[in-house]
Structure 1
Amino acid sequence: MGPLEGVRIIELQGIGPAPFCAMMLSDMGAEVIRIDRAANVTGEAPRGIDVLARGRRSLGVDLKNADGVETVLKLV
């Protein structure tokens, strides 16, 4: 439980300080969903530990595709 319990944050991968900010928001109880570029999603386990990704889920989406944009808009 935290002060942001019930708040949903959508983080778009690779935009400035978003990973650090999203980690802090998650630590305060927000539900954080990271939108990864579909080209970066391989289905394999990551080679290292992304400590900034703790406490959040991620979804690979092609934002150049209308279906991908629709998927993200449904999350918002």
Structure 2
Amino acid sequence: MPNAASNATVVVRSINAAPHGTWLAVVNTGVRQVDDVVITLPVTGTVKDAVTGAAVPVVNGRLTLSMYPAQLRSFRITP
């Protein structure tokens, strides 16, 4: 998803897996920690961390993350 992250070192990929929701892979491709990176979501819905199952707060269709170098995060968005 081009320009989905507010930091150029963070790359976002979206997978539409209807009817199971939309999955996001978010990776910090850089060698430094990045803080307060804003990710614009491709769809609206409830966002959960795919690893922990914990709800992730979303404000105005965006989530904010801090990520260490080379960290990969994954999320599931359901309607």
Which structure has more relative contact order (CA 8 Å, sep 6+)? It is 2
TM-score between both structures, scaled by the size of structure 1: 0.26
Higher strand share: 2
Specify the structure having the higher radius of gyration (Cα): 1
TM-score between both structures, scaled by the size of structure 2: 0.26
